[in-house]
Amino acid sequence: MNKLKPKLFSVMKTYDKKQFVKDIVAGIIVAIIALPLSIALAIASGVTPEQGLYTAIFAGFFISFLGGSRVQIGGPTAAFVVIIYGIVVEHGMAGLTVATLMAGIILIIMGLIRFGSLIKYIPFTITTGFTAGIAVGIFAGQIKDFLGLDMGAVPSEFIDKCKEYGKHISTLDRDTVIIGVISLAILIVMPKISKVVPGSLVAIIVATLIVKFTPLETATIGSVFGELSSKIPTPKIPDVNFAMIRELLPSAFTIAILAGIESLLSCVVSDGMINSRHRSNMELIGQGVGNIASGLFGGIPATGAIARTAANVKNGGRTPIAGMVHAIVLLIILVLAMPLAAMIPMTTLAAILIVVAYNMGDWKEFFYLIKHAPKSDVSVMLVTFFLTVIFDLVVAIEVGIVLASLLFIKRMSDVSSVRNWTYINGYDDNRENDPMHIGLKEVPEHTLVYEIDGPMFFGAADKFLDISVNDDVKVIVLRMRSVPAMDITALNTLEKVYKTCEEKNVTLILSHVNEQPYSMMKKAGFVEKVGEINFRENIDAALEWAAELV
């Protein structure tokens, strides 16, 4: 739906006390799930733990308040980890804030100009490829903390990461590995035991208790980041210059596209769960405002989180109130209990993100496509995957979309054709029931009929060159009922055909020209050149006119 009205304002008309209680319960449960994830994703992105909570609080609130979904939960997600880490390494926190603010503005513009429905045109192979690539990048970024390697900062590039891990693998810490494996085991087993209690919360509690009450020692959030702040941040605008905007614009576009794709995918999934329909353009605007709020208050890019949104639905959330409650609960935790987070082991957060990376990769789908999809589609997916892993997401999406576009052009070109029909009273079993088929028409002498199939655009414009003009030909009929669209390149080639006909004193007749091609021809003056009289509504009228001319 394209209505630019927040879903909250619509659902409040029928809101009642019973649903309010359900929304509060769902919001509290989702906040408990979001707490460790927000901290872990922030650390993986190269920022402080508090910034993950700032994102879930401020972006999460406005995404629910102004978004186009009844149940969307916004906040930091794994999709942004790789690109955020790269921005922070290269441009620092100021650069990340600027990129987040620009991405928010881009998302609002996308919503205002009704781009919500266009996101679906990004091919599935590209989204699968870069999602799997991001998953590999997230996994690679957790090796240091999971194994307790004694090394400096983790490089942003995948190959450099692998080299550094290889150099320092001998420094792994036994206690850290034990706690990490225990945490990982809890995360794997808990979903099979309980669907209500989040495994990440159990893993954090157990690992924290192990560190506190056993001889096992490992790095914690507090030992790495120092004392955690429980203050509510104030909005700040960083110093911005044109050079910074120009450098960060590609990253901002990538963040906006990722946020748009993931949030709308989450909306589609949740629509199926609650039998509702989201407002895609309003959702983009809500995402944009949420990212601007996150940037102003020191957070990182945010989008709709599919797992947290599903948890919201399963626990009774049915209106944006649940998402707003989730943000408020996290704010309370920030103020009252943030110092306790300093006790969480880093290896446990790494284990949480390893599981997140595995789940987001959707490897079953990835390998299914490799086995069953056409080789050209698989190539696009694998190129996007490897570019995401080895280089970065910006390059991967740019190259992936270009390759997919070229592949689409090639396929459209293959299905477009110009065929010559010259026989009289021909018979074709497959077409005998089609009264408009040329095989059932009588073609006048000295007349050639060409049937054009498929869209005529720059990728197929050369098909017009198959039209030949013999010396004994007096009339050429172009049957265009199967041409839904035409671009200026194809029209330019058609004009060359017309000039050839004009030089050889051959009349060109066009039959059944559809609305878009005719409008383009009219605007370009081609109709006037050929003559309105030579445009006929169907093949019968065109052949009758050809007979008169001959």
Query: What is the secondary structure of 5-18 as a DSSP string?
Result: S-HHHHHGGG--HH
Inside any domain, residue 251: no
Inside any domain, residue 9: no
For 487, phi and psi rounded to 5 degrees?
-110, 180
**Residue 429 pLDDT > 50:** no
Query: Which CATH number goes with the domain that contains 440?
Result: 3.30.750.24
- In this prediction the pTM is 0.77
Q: d(Cα 204, Cα 345) in Å, to the nearest integer?
A: 8
CB contact at 8 A, 90 and 315: no
pLDDT digits (tens, 9 = 90+) for 495-548: 999 999 999 999 999 999 999 999 999 999 999 999 999 999 999 999 999 999
Token pair in block for residue 157: 């590039």
Q: Does residue 87 sit in helix, strand or coil?
A: helix
Name the CA radius of gyration of the chain, rounded: 30
Q: Are residues 349 and 445 in the same domain?
A: no
Inside any domain, residue 242: no
Of the residues 340, 375, 406, the one at which a domain ends: 406
**Residue 153 pLDDT > 90:** no
Of the residues 379, 406, 433, the one at which a domain ends: 406
pLDDT confidence of residue 190: 93
For 451, phi and psi rounded to 5 degrees?
-100, 125
**Residue 431 pLDDT > 50:** no
Count of domains observed in the chain: 2
State mean pLDDT over 71-84: 93
Closest C-alpha among 359, 294, 296 to residue 330: 294
Inside any domain, residue 63: yes
pLDDT digits (tens, 9 = 90+) for 97-132: 999 999 999 999 999 999 887 776 778 888 889 889
Strands 535-536 and 507-511: parallel
pLDDT confidence of residue 415: 83
Place of tokens 């208790």: 209
Q: Are residues 396 and 437 in the same domain?
A: no
Cβ neighbourhood burial of 48 (10 Å; 0-12, 13-18, 19+): buried
pLDDT digits (tens, 9 = 90+) for 278-302: 999 999 999 999 999 999 999 999 9
**Residue 423 pLDDT > 70:** no
- Of the pLDDT bands very low, low, confident and very high (cuts 50, 70, 90), residue 350 is very high
Inside any domain, residue 254: no
Inside any domain, residue 300: yes
* Relative orientation angle of helices 393-415 and 242-274, to the nearest 10 degrees: 70
Inside any domain, residue 96: yes
CB contact at 8 A, 232 and 291: no
Expressed as residue numbers, the domain containing 455 is: 416-549
pLDDT digits (tens, 9 = 90+) for 359-371: 887 788 899 999 9
Of the residues 406, 432, 448, the one at which a domain ends: 406
Q: Are residues 400 and 428 in the same domain?
A: no
Inside any domain, residue 10: no
CB contact at 8 A, 423 and 443: yes
pLDDT digits (tens, 9 = 90+) for 84-97: 999 999 999 999 99
Q: Are residues 398 and 422 in the same domain?
A: no
Q: Are residues 381 and 507 in the same domain?
A: no
Q: Are residues 95 and 215 in the same domain?
A: yes
Q: Are residues 320 and 430 in the same domain?
A: no
Per-chain mean pLDDT for the chain? 90
- Of the pLDDT bands very low, low, confident and very high (cuts 50, 70, 90), residue 426 is very low
Alpha helices, H only, 275-316: 280-296, 306-314
pLDDT confidence of residue 421: 67
What's the angle, vertex CA 187, arms to CA 35 and CA 230, rounded to 5? 20
State mean pLDDT over 263-273: 87
pLDDT digits (tens, 9 = 90+) for 437-461: 555 578 888 899 999 999 999 888 8
pLDDT confidence of residue 237: 87
Q: Are residues 402 and 428 in the same domain?
A: no
Q: Are residues 153 and 31 in the same domain?
A: yes
Q: Are residues 318 and 440 in the same domain?
A: no
Q: Are residues 464 and 359 in the same domain?
A: no
State mean pLDDT over 466-494: 91
Q: Are residues 374 and 432 in the same domain?
A: no
**Residue 171 pLDDT > 60:** yes
Contacts of 251 (CB under 8 A, 6+ apart): 83, 86, 87, 99, 394
- Of the pLDDT bands very low, low, confident and very high (cuts 50, 70, 90), residue 142 is very high
